[in-house]
Structure formats: C-alpha cells, structure tokens
C-alpha cells in the first residue's frame, strides 16, 4: 500500500514480486484468508437459507418454479393498455399488464415532474421576493411529508368527488366524478393511422434536412432555413392527406348511461391520485436540482454572453442551460430512479402496477419467492435502463475538453 518509492526512470524494471508466504504476517496471504472466510460465511448462510426454504416449501406443498405463469389468472384489472380478459388470460399476461402500467406511470410522471420541477426551480431563483419565498415554501413542505401520506390524501380527495350522475362537466364532453376523468377519445381508423405515419415521416424528413442544412452552413457559410421544410412536412402534408381521406376523425364521446359513463377514455382515480402525488412530490426534489444547477453557472458566463450582445433566449439556450445541464443530469438521474421506485406505492391506493399484480399473484398461488423475484427483476431492469440512457445522455452533453 505504501512505501514503494516513486520511480519514474523507464530503464528500471519493477522489482520482482515476492512470493506469497503462507503466514499471517504476509498481507496478501491475510487478504486471501479474509476473503475465503467471508465468502465461506456468506455461502454457508445462503446454503442454510435455501435448504430451510426448500424444507418449508415441501411441508407446505408449494412447488417452486415459474409454471404458474401459464395458468389462468382471474385477477380483474381495471386499467389496461393492452386487451386483457381475467377469465381467459394467464398470470404471465397479467404481470405484463402490471409492467406496462408501471411504465405508463413512470413515463408520464417523469415528464410532468420534470416540467413542474423546472418551473418551480426557476421560480426559486426569481428576483421577485414573493415568488422565490412561495416556491421555497412549496419545496420545503412537500419534501417533509411522506409520499404515501400524500398519495392517500389525494386518493381520498378524488374519491370524495360526486358520483357519475352529478359529475362535474368541463367543456362539452369532459366529466370529472369519483370514477375518474372521462374524456373523448378518437375512434381508430386505418386512415388515421396513415395520417399519423405521415406526421412521423415528416419529422424524420425535417431532421434529415436540418442535418443537411447544418453541414451546408458549416461548409459554405450559407444559412438555409429549416422551419419551412418542417411546417411543410410535419403540418401541411399530413393535413392534406387527412383531408384527402375525407377527414376520418370521429370521437368516442362519453355519455351517462344509468349509473356510469360509457364510451370515451378514462383516467381512473387511482392513476390520477398516483400521478398527482408522484409528480408533486418528485417536482419538489427536481426543483432543488434545477436551482442548484443554474446557480452553479458562474455569473461571468451571463455577463460574457450579454457582452457579446446575445439576446436572453439565445443566452439561456446556448450558454447557461448547456452548462447547467452538466450539473443537473447526474442527480436528476437518481431522482428519476426514485420516481420509478416510488411508483410502487401504487399498491396502497389500488392502482394495478407490477407490485400490485405480482402481490395478488403470489397471494393467490402461494408462489411468494417467484413473485418477489419478478418484482425485483423488473425494477432492476428499469433502474438499469434509466441509468444507461442517462449515462449516454450525460456523456453527450459533458464538456468536450480541447
């Protein structure tokens, strides 16, 4: 560890490694003994746990393995992204739906929490004293109350809304009741699909054109406008196609039938409460990250940009935000991971995410170990993919040292 003199002459060969002596006075031998002892202990404890578990499972007549995934589930799931029939579909599909539900909350939650957190974080830096104090109070209060309490509170609040018969009507066809928010949803037709496809192609065309324009600009100094191509490819062409198809857009509008609504899309109170709670709670953490990131940009950078005569928008976009992002992205990554892990609290308010579906599964089948293993693997996969993506993004935006 120490004591080796710093030799920088290249003609000196490193001293030959002394042979390991089998005595406790040799640090390397001692290290080996420690490792063998600790690994042996851990291995023994692991072996003991597995053995007793197997004995216990035998006594309770529980078979191990993932065979139960092929059995009919019979778990009713209210909010699904893909078709699901509790009478016919198997546990494997129910768990897939749980995973998709977790993904849905995670994606919507991350987007909304980032937007809200950024607004609050910038608000904290406002020269306006009232706005700065108010946003500071928001951050302080929400961070100091457990998320689970907030979730339960929002859920109770949403359940306290009037029943569908006395639902609040917002605009023409939005209804807010204790069954959630009903909203009109477009009826799917192949023509609609083609139109959306045209929009996607338009985006790709615009991106390619932007690259082209940039390389022309770099090579010749000639500036080519990007926006006309964008408007044409993304807006005008799909609209023309849409009209050519005869404007095939009809909405499935919710309507009150008996005691409940039929038709339209539904944002259930469980998902609503979960998203509200998660977004508000996470935004208070993201706000602090954003604030710290912007504060980390030295004032001289603002002043230098101003001295160059840059407008405020360009100054922010080209100078301040790129530098702030380098500070923001690493803690933001762990905040996103927290949000995904926190979405597991869904089980407390009855939103059927992966934890909820898997726990119903293991209480019905008795396959507790497999169920918990599935939960853990799913979250590890989420965590790993978010880390990988954010690391890639972080590598992209880090300072290119020249």
Partner 1 sequence: MSGISASAEGLVRPDELPPAVVGGFWGRLRAKLFSSWWSTATTLLLGYLILRWGFAFLAWSLGHAVWSVPYTAQGAPDTAACHAVKGIGACWAVIADKYRLILFGRFPFAEQWRPAICIALFIGLYVVSALKRFWRKELALIWTATLTVIGLLMWGGVFGLTYVRQDLWGGLPLTLILSTFGLALAFPLAILVALGRRATNLPAVKLLCVLYVELIRGVPLISVLFMASVMFPLFLPEGLDIDKVLRAQLGIVLFSAAYLAETIRGGLQAMPREQFEAADALGLGYWRKTLLVILPQALRLVIPPLVNSFIGLFKDTSLVLIVGIFDLLNTGKVAMSDPVWQPFSTEVYLFLAAIYFTFCCAMSQYSRRLEREFDRGRK
Q: Which residues bind partner 1 (CB under 8 A)?
A: 1-3, 27-28, 31, 34-35, 38-39, 42, 49, 52-53, 55-57, 59, 126-131, 134, 140-141, 143-149, 152-153, 156-157, 341-342, 344-345, 347-348, 355, 359, 362, 368-369, 372, 375-376, 379-380, 383-384
Q: Is the separation of the CB atoms in 131 and 123 below 8 Å?
A: yes
Q: How far is the CB of 58 from partner 1 (least distance, A)?
A: 11
Per-residue tokens: 59: 């006594």
Beta bridge partners of 257: 260
d(CA 12, CA 344) in angstroms, rounded, equals 59
Report the nearest approach of partner 1 to the CB of residue 241 (Å).
42
DSSP single-letter state for residue 298: -
Residue placing its CB nearer to partner 1 in the complex, 49 or 203? 49
Complex with partner 1: residue 51 or 211, whichever CB lies closer: 51
Half-sphere exposure of 353 (CA within 13 A, CB side): 24
For 284, other C-beta atoms within 10 Å of its C-beta total 22
Q: Which helix (H) or strand (E) holds 182?
A: strand 180-183
Bridge partners of 53? Answer: none
170 bridge partner residues: 174
Q: CB-wise, 182 or 291, nearer to partner 1?
A: 291
DSSP string over 333-387 = HHHHHHHHHHGGGHHHHT---HHHHHHHHHHHH--HHHHHHHHHHHHHHHHHHHH
**Least Å distance between CB 122 and partner 1?**
12
Residue in 187, 207, 173 with CA at minimum distance from that of residue 251: 187
Minimum distance between the CB of residue 375 and partner 1, rounded to whole angstroms? 5
Provide the minimum distance between the beta carbon of 280 and partner 1 in the complex, in angstroms, as a whole number: 13
C-beta closer to partner 1: residue 45 or 111: 45
In sequence order, what are the beta bridge partners of 186?
Answer: 251
Tell me whether residue 131 or residue 237 sits nearer to partner 1 (CB atom): 131
Smallest gap from residue 142 Cβ to partner 1 (A)? 10
In the complex with partner 1, the residue whose CB is nearer, 114 or 356, is 356
Q: How far is the CB of 320 from partner 1 (least distance, A)?
A: 19
Q: Of 63 and 197, which has the nearer Cβ to partner 1?
A: 63
Q: In angstroms, what is the minimal distance from the CB of 44 to partner 1?
A: 14
**Dihedral angle computed from the Cα positions of residues 85, 86, 88 and 93, in that order, rounded to the nearest 10 degrees:** 80
Among residues 56 and 78, whose Cβ is nearest to partner 1? Answer: 56
Q: How far is the CB of 388 from partner 1 (least distance, A)?
A: 13
Residue 235 is given by DSSP the state I
- Which residue, 123 or 180, is less far from partner 1 as judged by CB? 123
Q: Which is nearer to partner 1, 152 or 267 (CB)?
A: 152
Q: What is the CA radius of gyration of the chain?
A: 29
Sequence-ordered alpha helix ranges (H) in 125-268 = 129-143, 147-159, 190-220, 227-230, 237-244
Least gap, CB of 312 to partner 1 (angstroms): 12
Q: What is the dihedral of CA 21, 23, 29, 34, to 10 degrees?
A: 170
DSSP state, 320?
I
**Who contacts 11 (Cβ-Cβ below 8 Å, separation ≥6)?**
none
Quick one: tokens of 61? 């007549």
């Amino acid at each position: 560890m120490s004591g080796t003199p710093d030799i920088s002459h290249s003609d000196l060969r490193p001293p030959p490694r002394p042979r390991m002596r089998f005595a406790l006075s040799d640090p390397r031998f001692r290290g080996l003994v420690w490792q063998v002892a600790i690994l042996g202990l851990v291995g023994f404890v692991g072996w003991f746990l597995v053995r007793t578990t197997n004995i216990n499972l035998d006594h309770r007549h529980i078979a191990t393995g993932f065979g139960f995934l092929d059995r009919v589930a019979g778990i009713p799931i209210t909010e699904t992204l893909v078709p699901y029939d509790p009478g016919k579909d198997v546990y494997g599909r129910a768990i897939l739906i749980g995973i998709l539900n977790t993904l849905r909350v995670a994606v919507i939650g991350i987007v909304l929490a980032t937007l809200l957190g950024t607004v609050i974080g910038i608000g904290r830096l406002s020269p306006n004293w009232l706005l700065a104090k108010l946003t500071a109070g928001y951050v302080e209060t929400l961070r100091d109350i457990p998320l689970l309490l907030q979730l339960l509170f929002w859920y109770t609040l949403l359940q306290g809304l009037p029943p569908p018969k006395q639902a609040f009507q917002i605009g023409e066809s939005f209804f807010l009741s204790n069954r959630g928010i009903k909203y009109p949803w477009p009826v799917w037709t192949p023509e609609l699909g083609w139109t959306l496809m045209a929009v996607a192609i338009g985006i790709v065309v615009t991106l390619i054109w932007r690259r082209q324009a940039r390389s022309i600009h770099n090579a010749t100094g000639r500036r080519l406008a990007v926006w006309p191509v964008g408007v044409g490819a993304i807006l005008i062409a799909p609209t023309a196609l849409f009209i050519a198809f005869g404007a095939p857009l009809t909405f499935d509008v919710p309507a009150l039938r008996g005691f409940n609504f039929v038709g339209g899309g539904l944002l259930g109170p469980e998902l609503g409460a979960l998203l509200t709670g998660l977004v508000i709670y996470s935004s208070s953490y993201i706000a602090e990250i954003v604030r710290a990131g912007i504060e980390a940009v030295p004032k001289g950078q603002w002043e230098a940009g101003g001295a160059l005569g840059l407008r405020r928008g360009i100054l922010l976009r080209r100078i301040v935000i790129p530098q702030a992002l380098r500070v923001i992205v690493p803690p933001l990554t762990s905040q996103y991971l927290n949000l995904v892990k926190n979405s597991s609290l869904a089980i407390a308010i009855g939103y059927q995410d992966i934890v909820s579906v898997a726990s119903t599964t293991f209480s019905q089948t008795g396959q507790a170990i497999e169920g918990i293993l599935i939960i853990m693997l799913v979250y590890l996969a989420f965590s790993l993919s978010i880390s990988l993506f954010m690391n890639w993004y972080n590598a992209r935006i880090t300072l290119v040292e020249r």
